[in-house]
Structure 1
C-alpha cells in the first residue's frame, strides 16, 4: 500500500521533516540542561543528547536522497525523546 505524492508535495514533506528534526536538537539540549541543573535528573542524557542528532542526520539524508520513509523515521525520532522523558518521569 503506497501513497502517491506530487513532486511539490514530496519536496515540501521532505523539507519539513528535515527542518523539524534539525530544530529539535537545540530545543532538546536546552531541556537537557534544565533537567540536569534544576532537578539533578541524569536519565535525560541518553534521550535528549543522542536521539535528536540522529534524527537530524536522518532528516538530512532523507531530503538529500529523496527517501520519504527515512524522513518519517526522522520525525518519529524527533518526537521520541518527549515520550521517553515523560515515561521515565511518570515512574
Structure 2
C-alpha cells in the first residue's frame, strides 16, 4: 500500500477541520441552552454564541481557499469555548 501523497494528507486535514468546526456549532448551541436553563445568564452565553460560528466560517474558507493556517485557527476556535467557559465560570 503506497504512502499517501502530501496533497492527499492536506485535503484530508482541511476536510476534517471543516467538519469539526461545522459540527461544533450545534453542539455548542445545545450546551448553551443547557447552561442558560441551569445557571441563568452568564458570560458563557457570549462565548458559545460568538466563537463556534466564527470557527465554522473559518473552516469552510480554509477548505475552499486551501489555507492550512486558517484551518488550524478554525480548529482552535472550535475547541476554545470549553476552556473559556471553565475559566469564566471559575471567575464569577
- Same fold, TM exceeding 0.5? yes
> How many correspondences in the alignment?
87
Instruction: Report what 1:15 is aligned to.
Output: 15
Q: Which residue of 2 aligns with 1:58?
A: 58
SS in 1 for 2:80: helix
TM-score of the aligned structures, taking structure 1 as reference length: 0.91
Mapping 1:43-54, distance limit 5 Å: 43-54=43-54
Residue 38 (str. 1) matches residue 27 (str. 2): no
- Which structure would you say has the larger Rg? 2
Give ranges in structure 1 of 5+ residues lacking alignment: none
TM-score by length of 2: 0.90
RMSD: 1.1
Runs of 5+ unmatched residues, structure 2: none
